[in-house]
Amino acid sequence: MSASATRQEGWSKAPAIVDYGEGELLEVSMGPHHPSTHGVFRMDVTLQGEQITKLKPVFGYLHRNHEKLGEGQSYLASMPYTDRLDYICSLTNNWAYALAVEKLVGQEVPERAEYLRVIVGELTRVQNHALSVGFLIQDMGASGTPLMYAFKEREKILDLFESLTGSRMMCNYMRFGGCRVDATPAWLDEVRRVVAGLPKFADEFERLLCTNEILMARTQGVGVLPAELAMSAGVTGPMLRASGVNYDIRKVDHYGIYDRFDFKVPLGSHGDVYDRFMIRLLELRESIKILEQALRDIPDGPVMDPKAKIRNFRPKPGEAYGRIEAPKGELGFYLISDGSGNPYRYRVRPPSFVNLTVLEDMCLGHNVADVVLILGSVDIVLGEVDR
Amino acid sequence: MKTVEEIKAAIEAAVPGAGVEIVQNPGPAAQHSLLLQPEHAVDVAKFLRDDAELALTFLSNVTGVDWPDKEITEKVKVTKMVTKTVDGVEQQVEETVEEPRKRVEPGYLEVVYHLYSMTKKHGPVVLRMRTKNRTDAVELPSMTPVWRSAEFQEREIFDLFGVVFTGHPDLRRILMWEGFKDHPMRRDYVEPDDYDYEPTAHDAVLAKATAHQARIAEQKGAGQ
Amino acid sequence: MLGEGILKGLAETAKNFAGSYVSKERLTTVQYPEERVAPIEATRNFPFLVYDGEDAFAGLRCVSCQICEKECPPKCIYIEKSKDKKPDYVGKPQNYPVRFDIDISVCMSCQICVEVCPFEAIKMDTVFELATDDRFGGLLLDREKLSKSNEYYHTIHPTEATEVDARLAEEKAKVEAKAKAAAEAAAAKAAAAPPAPPAAKPEAPKPTGGAE
């Protein structure tokens, strides 16, 4: 069986599959309990020798019908559940949901709350990118050490989250019309201290890894994602920008107050695993820049719109789609209100779920060992994929 | 960016007989949507993607919405011939009375697409399609050949809502397992009775737990 | 040069290893349970019920309004309302929970019960060493286990507790002033018209604090 014949025309520009002549195809089930799959995730892989000729992702092991849960309870009660979507970045999930509900009801957010959202959102991006780069290297076989350096930095940021929101990972911090608690000046000083130390961490990480010949040999030219396919497949986030498409929702939508900050959007040119790895490191540096500006400019004032309602929150009938640039890509919430206290339809558009669409296209023709790397470079969290 | 009305006009100029309707969004978000006829949907989608001015290259979000059958009780004015005694003489008089009448508005499954442009950086344009009913005529054309990002999301809608996308290359269940029967996101979905309840159940859970345990006891009794 | 990356990596590792003997920054491990990290004030874990004064039952702030039970996203709270009443902190007779159970195997520490409580009665604890060998009974906390004193609340969340106390004191002062005014008015009325009417009962305003 020729593998390329099973694919639709024009979908894939993967390396040509070498035909070894007569030979048997081997079907392997990678996962669901495989250390490299970042959760419970299975890939049904068909191999010809070492090469991938077919790959079908199978998921749903963590499916709990998050959307149905959201429809059965009040708008506020869904907020802590959004923490559990992408459990690495609970604060950006909170933000996306709060943004969608604020769009639905036309709610304003006070200035200081917007700044706090940017600060916690960018801290989330820093720790997510540090972690995903660390895990990528772990997938490559560098067990432990680089990952632990990334964890060390993440730990500092999680401590900041804990002292602000009360929880390290399940923050449940944002509310419709602001944030739950205000940051103390001591907390902001602590953030300034941590942010001041971040460039040093990025330098150390880059010095350690970027020119490492093993890393370059394993990642360059592997898992190439062409820009047209990335656009058509709705890939977003660092993965899209590594393919050279300039699309960052922070720059496009200017949601919140992102138009006030000076930052660049790093772009890749090859769209391979190495580019995706580098884009994350560069974005981490841009996030540090945004953090420095936000910490400099943060004004005093309330963190919650006094007109915002907590109890008995009933939006007027209507619908809204709100999206933000989460660390993994476009995270959107689509809400339909029928005027009652529960949303009629509550939909999450998860970035890692859509980004997985092109996993097969990227893997075809590569060796089995590269699949692990390519999956690592997509940066998925199964809590969000399976919902 | 063009308004919804302008997009509608552009579609109708490009795809004759497309029959696009505008669905108003009364909320403050004011994201109005375009209701497409399934027969012309793929042509319209191709136009939206390839048109130089719109260039909606990025299909961000695809989702389903279930609108079940609605029973509407309304007062209808009926004109009837009534026998009345007017001035001591019985005669037939026409009279208008209000009568309550029940009417079932058929439900449908709706698929919503949110489109953006990656090159022009505008959006969203919201498209909708509706099935004829919720039981047997649930086919809609798939957008996967136009935008690849619909692939997994349409599979999810097939899985959770039961919309069958014609032209989808690989329409299988995605989140639920193969062999699962129902569609859990439908509003009339009934959870299967296969739980082990925690002893602290209360409220709705307690009611369910009691019913569940009663059923198990009944089955045991029948088995003996 | 071949092997350059490996040498660089080894140098980095050696730096961190040697550095861990001199720099606190590079030594990140804490030998729990002998050693513990400093507690963070805002930490939240599971809810508890606050009582004022000495007696856990008499001082219990909860009036079993059941808002938290309704709003709890995973529905881990179970309340049975009393038939009789006991005086609350301003002296107004209020219901109390006959039964107040929180199943902490279900609780997801989201703090929504604290936010919606109009009586400052439920707060978040910081205890995390709750391991037990009884999965169901041991993780189901009843009213006696949940009741903790205001002093305890002050030790775990001092800033927040002080704010709450100030808010409650203000409300109490308001109620007392109103009661006093009402009593004076009643006394004046009684003086003006002697067969004394029954003393006007002061109406306590519903506390509104706590709904952030």
- pLDDT of res. A19: 58
Lowest mean pLDDT among A29-43, A232-246, C154-168: A29-43
The rounded distance, in Å, linking the Cα atoms of A27 and B103 is 55
DSSP letters for B82-143: EEEEETTEEEEEEEEEEEEEEEEEPPEEEEEEEEE-TTT----EEEEEE-S-SSS--EEE--
CB contact under 8 A, B200 and C101: yes
The half-sphere exposure of C195 on its side-chain side, counting CA atoms within 13 A, is 0
pLDDT in tens, A328-347: 989 999 999 888 888 999 99
A204 CA: distance to closest CA in chain C (Å): 8
DSSP letters for C178-201: HHHHHHHHHHHHHHHSSSPPPPPP
- pLDDT of res. C204: 46
ipTM of this predicted structure? 0.83
- pLDDT of res. C105: 82
pLDDT in tens, B42-81: 888 888 888 888 888 888 899 999 888 887 777 777 777 7
A338 CA: distance to closest CA in chain B (Å): 10
CB contact under 8 A, C5 and A213: yes
**The dihedral of CA A353, A354, A359, A360: what is its sign?**
positive
Residues with Cβ within 8 Å of residue A248, at least 6 apart in sequence: A241, A265, A325
How far, in whole angstroms, is CA C54 from its chain's centroid? 17
**Predicted confidence (pLDDT) at residue A5 exceeds the cutoff of 50:** no
pLDDT in tens, C141-174: 888 888 888 888 888 888 888 888 888 888 888 8
Per-residue confidence at A17, pLDDT binned at 50, 70, 90?
Answer: low
The rounded distance, in Å, linking the Cα atoms of B201 and A92 is 33
- pLDDT of res. C194: 57
Residues with Cβ within 8 Å of residue C197, at least 6 apart in sequence: C186, C189, C190
**Predicted confidence (pLDDT) at residue A261 exceeds the cutoff of 50:** yes
Residues of C within 8 A of B203 (CB-CB) are: 75
Residues of C within 8 A of B202 (CB-CB) are: 75, 78
CB contact under 8 A, A232 and B177: no
**Predicted confidence (pLDDT) at residue A18 exceeds the cutoff of 70:** no
Beta bridge partners of B165: B140
Q: Residue A330 in contact with residue B60, Cβ under 8 Å?
A: yes
Q: Residue A272 in contact with residue A254, Cβ under 8 Å?
A: no
Residues with Cβ within 8 Å of residue C138, at least 6 apart in sequence: C132
Instruction: Please state which CATH class domain B4-67+108-166 belongs to.
Output: alpha beta
CB contact under 8 A, C106 and B198: yes
A263 CA: distance to closest CA in chain C (Å): 29
pLDDT in tens, C66-117: 888 888 888 888 888 888 887 776 677 788 888 888 888 888 888 888 888 8
Token code pair at residue A179: 């944030």
**Chains with ≥3 CB–CB distances under 8 Å to C:** A, B
Domain boundaries, chain B: 4-67+108-166, 70-104, 191-224
**Predicted confidence (pLDDT) at residue A20 exceeds the cutoff of 60:** no
**Across the beta sheet with A51-58, what order do the strands follow?**
A26-30, A42-48, A51-58
Per-residue confidence at C211, pLDDT binned at 50, 70, 90?
Answer: very low
- pLDDT of res. A93: 92
- Asked if the C-beta of C67 comes within 8 angstroms of chain A's C-beta atoms, the answer is yes
Q: Could you give the residue ranges of the DSSP H alpha helices within B147-202?
A: 150-160
pLDDT in tens, A282-317: 999 999 999 999 998 888 888 888 887 777 788 888
Q: Whole-prediction pTM value?
A: 0.84
**Predicted confidence (pLDDT) at residue A215 exceeds the cutoff of 70:** yes
Which amino acid is located at A86 in the chain? D
N-terminal to C-terminal alpha carbon distance within chain B: 72
Per-residue confidence at C5, pLDDT binned at 50, 70, 90?
Answer: confident
**Predicted confidence (pLDDT) at residue C209 exceeds the cutoff of 50:** no
Structural element, H or E, at residue C103: strand C97-103
Which amino acid is located at C175 in the chain? V
- pLDDT of res. B197: 63
pLDDT in tens, B127-181: 888 888 888 888 889 888 888 888 899 999 998 888 898 888 888 888 888 888 8
pLDDT in tens, B80-102: 777 777 677 777 777 777 777 77
Token code pair at residue B136: 């047997």
Other CB atoms within 10 A of residue C25 CB: 11
Lowest mean pLDDT among B1-5, B63-67, C46-50: B1-5
Residue of higher predicted confidence among A187 and B123? A187
* pLDDT above 90 as % of chain B: 2
CB contact under 8 A, A320 and B61: no
SS3 content of chain C, % helix, strand, coil (to 5): 35, 15, 50
DSSP summary character for residue B56 = -
Residues C24-46: what's their mean pLDDT? Answer: 83
- pLDDT of res. B86: 67
**Predicted confidence (pLDDT) at residue B35 exceeds the cutoff of 70:** yes
Residues A125-143: what's their mean pLDDT? Answer: 85
Q: Residue B114 in contact with residue B19, Cβ under 8 Å?
A: no
Domains in chain C: ranges and CATH: 47-165 (3.30.70.3270)
**Predicted confidence (pLDDT) at residue C206 exceeds the cutoff of 50:** no
**Predicted confidence (pLDDT) at residue A259 exceeds the cutoff of 70:** yes
Residues B94-111: what's their mean pLDDT? Answer: 80
Token code pair at residue C193: 């018209």
CB contact under 8 A, C43 and A81: no
Residues A175-195: what's their mean pLDDT? Answer: 89
Q: Which of A19-28, A290-299, B2-11 has the highest mean pLDDT?
A: A290-299
Query: What is the biggest distance separating any 2 CA atoms in chain B, rounded to whole angstroms?
Result: 83
Residues A152-157: what's their mean pLDDT? Answer: 87
Q: Residue A99 in contact with residue A324, Cβ under 8 Å?
A: yes
Q: Which of A233-247, B179-193, C72-86 has the highest mean pLDDT?
A: A233-247
Residues with Cβ within 8 Å of residue B163, at least 6 apart in sequence: B64, B109, B111, B131, B138, B139, B140, B154, B157
Per-residue confidence at A123, pLDDT binned at 50, 70, 90?
Answer: very high
- pLDDT of res. C208: 45
- pLDDT of res. C196: 47
A281-A42-A63 Cα angle (round to 5):
90
Per-residue confidence at B204, pLDDT binned at 50, 70, 90?
Answer: low
Q: What SS3 class is residue A46?
A: strand
Per-residue confidence at A11, pLDDT binned at 50, 70, 90?
Answer: very low
How far, in whole angstroms, is CA B7 from its chain's centroid? 23
Token code pair at residue A38: 């970042």
Residues A186-198: what's their mean pLDDT? Answer: 90
Q: Residue B59 in contact with residue B45, Cβ under 8 Å?
A: no
From residue C92, alpha-carbon distances to A50, C166, C201 in Å are: 78, 19, 10
**The dihedral of CA B193, B195, B196, B200: what is its sign?**
negative
